[in-house]
Amino acid sequence: MLSLLRRRPPRAVAVALAISVTAAVVAACGSSEPGATADGRTVLRYQGATGQVSPFELAADLGYFSKIQLKWEGDTTSGPANIQAAATRQIEFGSAFNGAVVKLIAGGAPVTSVLSSYGADEQSFTGYYVRDDSGIGSARDLIGKKVGVNTLGAHHEFVTREWLHRQGLSDQEIKQVQLVVLPPANTEDALRKGQIDAAALSSVFRDTAVERGGLHPLYTDKDLFGQFDYGTYVFRNDYIKQHRAAVADFVQGTARATRWLQVTPRDRIVARFADIIAKRGRNENADLLKYYRSSGIPVPGGAIEERELQIWIDWLVRNGELPAGKITVKDIYTNTDNPYSNGAYPPASGPNGEAVAK
């Protein structure tokens, strides 16, 4: 386990993102798109997550797409990796934390956010946990300590640094809090063994850790920002221009599936997910579905709200990582194809076409 611990190098995030943008520009000339199916549907390649069902995968199963067909290209390791795969034409779309999206677009990545992909609501959120016997009770107690996160330059890092800032730590003190990259499956174990001092835990990893006892949250993203959409799906700008109907179909179908998740009883959702996982035959463990709590997306249909992006523009400017005025919210996203963006909230349809309550 100790070999997995990596201290955050100076400017690691800036360097990694610069490499990502450069790779996107270089690779943009290379790989080809998969084309269309025999019945004329545009094929959209994507990366999934083992044991989980994404809203767009649910949309396909519910029959919400009429112009596209999804093609799984393996599982992703993190948001930044997923969006880089989209920018470099390995897949057609990806999902990442909005702070990373803002920075990538500001750095020249030719992508646009089209729909919210994840967030925090009353039941689904990320907590930053410490051991009950750690003696850590404040932000100042983390100076010189290690915090386990899934990747650098994404949600866990931004939330941690913002919390430390709000708790009154200076920039120099914040730099002394070490961010350690760990696979989510290993993070709890590293925390309990004392190899890290705090751990970012969400979804099944949070719930199973809490069940075992001995841990409590020092801070959470929900407590820091409230119920909030934190990430978005992005497409390359050239793809949006060349395949407008396909992108529009993806957005409307995924938005409807997101709304279905927001208004459908939990037992029906879990049963549907179990059926989808069984049918796709990827040798996954569906037992984790018992820990499903909610969609985690508080905004109806995943429509993007400007504040969800503006907060990270302001954050990057404040931290000297983005020149003021270089990018505006309007440069980053569009709600054009989302049927829930006008506030009308049409009812979602059930799997058999029946109306589901708003």
| pLDDT tens by residue, 63-72 | 999 999 999 9
In a domain, 51, yes or no: yes
In a domain, 352, yes or no: no
**6 vs 181: CA distance, rounded Å:** 6
Number of structural domains (the chain) is: 2
In a domain, 182, yes or no: yes
Q: 231 with 114, same domain?
A: yes
Number of Cβ within a 10 Å radius of residue 207: 16
**82 vs 64: CA distance, rounded Å:** 24
Q: 54 with 131, same domain?
A: no
Q: 182 with 315, same domain?
A: no
Q: 241 with 324, same domain?
A: yes
In a domain, 218, yes or no: yes
Q: 162 with 240, same domain?
A: no
**100 vs 84: CA distance, rounded Å:** 11
Q: 146 with 214, same domain?
A: yes
Residue at which a domain ends, from 225, 244, 265: 225
**pLDDT tens across the length of the chain (358 residues):** 333 333 333 333 443 444 344 444 434 444 567 788 888 999 999 999 888 899 999 999 999 999 999 999 999 877 878 888 998 899 999 998 898 899 889 888 899 999 999 999 888 999 999 999 999 999 999 999 999 998 887 789 989 999 999 999 999 999 999 999 998 889 999 999 999 999 999 988 999 999 999 999 999 999 988 888 999 999 999 999 999 999 999 999 999 999 999 999 999 999 999 999 999 999 888 888 988 899 999 999 999 999 999 999 998 898 888 999 999 999 999 999 999 998 665 555 544 444 444 4
Residue at which a domain ends, from 225, 245, 264: 225
In a domain, 27, yes or no: no
Query: Residues 78, 200: contact at Cβ < 8 Å?
Result: no
What is the three-class DSSP state of 176? Answer: coil
Q: 254 with 265, same domain?
A: yes
Q: 82 with 159, same domain?
A: no
Q: 233 with 208, same domain?
A: no
In a domain, 25, yes or no: no
Query: Please, how many CA atoms are within 13 Å of residue 303, restricted to the half-sphere of its CB?
Result: 16
Q: Which residue range forms the structural domain that includes residue 161?
A: 126-225
In a domain, 23, yes or no: no
pTM of the full structure: 0.81
Q: 215 with 231, same domain?
A: no
Query: Residues 155, 188: contact at Cβ < 8 Å?
Result: no
Residue 328 burial (CB < 10 Å; 0-12/13-18/19+)? Answer: exposed
DSSP state of 4: G
Joined together, the tokens standing for residue 312 give 């990270």
- Terminal alpha carbon distance of the chain: 47
Q: 100 with 84, same domain?
A: yes
DSSP state of 319: T
**204 vs 208: CA distance, rounded Å:** 6
Q: 72 with 167, same domain?
A: no
Report the CATH number that the domain containing residue 108 is assigned in CATH.
3.40.190.10
**162 vs 169: CA distance, rounded Å:** 10
In a domain, 323, yes or no: yes
- Burial of 292-306, coded b for 16+ CB within 10 Å and e otherwise, reads bebbbbbbbbbbbbe
| Pairs from 220-226 (Cβ < 8 Å, separation ≥ 24) | 220/120, 220/125, 220/126, 220/127, 220/128, 221/120, 221/125, 221/126, 221/155, 221/159, 222/120, 222/121, 222/122, 222/125, 222/126, 224/159, 224/162, 224/163, 224/166, 225/120, 225/159, 225/311
Residue at which a domain ends, from 225, 248, 282: 225
Q: What pLDDT does residue 173 have?
A: 97
Q: Residue 7: what are its φ and ψ, rounded to 5°? A: -75, 140
